[in-house]
Amino acid sequence: MQKQRPKHLDLAKIRLPVPGIVSILHRISGVALFFFLPLLIYFLHGSLSSADSFETYRAVVGNPLVKIVLLGLLWAFLHHVCAGVRFLFLDVHKGLELETARATAKTVLVVSLALTVILGGILVW
């Protein structure tokens, strides 16, 4: 008897566990940081080159849309760091038990969001 497997995966119905979500977000945040790195370097160069460039930088960064993008990049960085530390512990076989893995994944999400709110409130807004 042959099993009938689905021919199409309905991605909307697939429910990933929290560690899977953290893993995918870790990859997405790494890609976002990689592609936005030239923009961040441009902003750094613009803020350090001269007084006129700094004023232009302040005007650009003062735009609410740019602030939202920078806030997203801040979250990407913080999530990538927190998840990276979690994965380093997993690489040395610490926290592999199911309950511990779920708890550390939830902790990564909470800590990265909390740090984003705190640092975003100080730095971006």
**Predicted pLDDT of residue 4:** 78
User: Which domain does 87 fall in, by range?
Assistant: 18-123
pLDDT above 90 as % of the chain: 72
How far is residue 29 CA from its own chain's centroid? 4
Can you tell me the distance from the alpha carbon of 103 to that of 25, in angstroms, rounded to the nearest whole number?
16
Identity of residue 86: R
pLDDT level of residue 121 (50, 70, 90 thresholds): very high
Q: Is residue 76 part of a domain?
A: yes
Q: Is residue 1 part of a domain?
A: no
Please write the tens of the pLDDT for every residue from 72-100: 999 999 999 999 999 999 999 999 999 99
CATH number for the domain spanning 107: value is 1.20.1300.10
pTM, two decimals, is 0.86
Would you call 110 helix, strand, or coil by DSSP?
helix
Summary mean pLDDT of the chain: 92
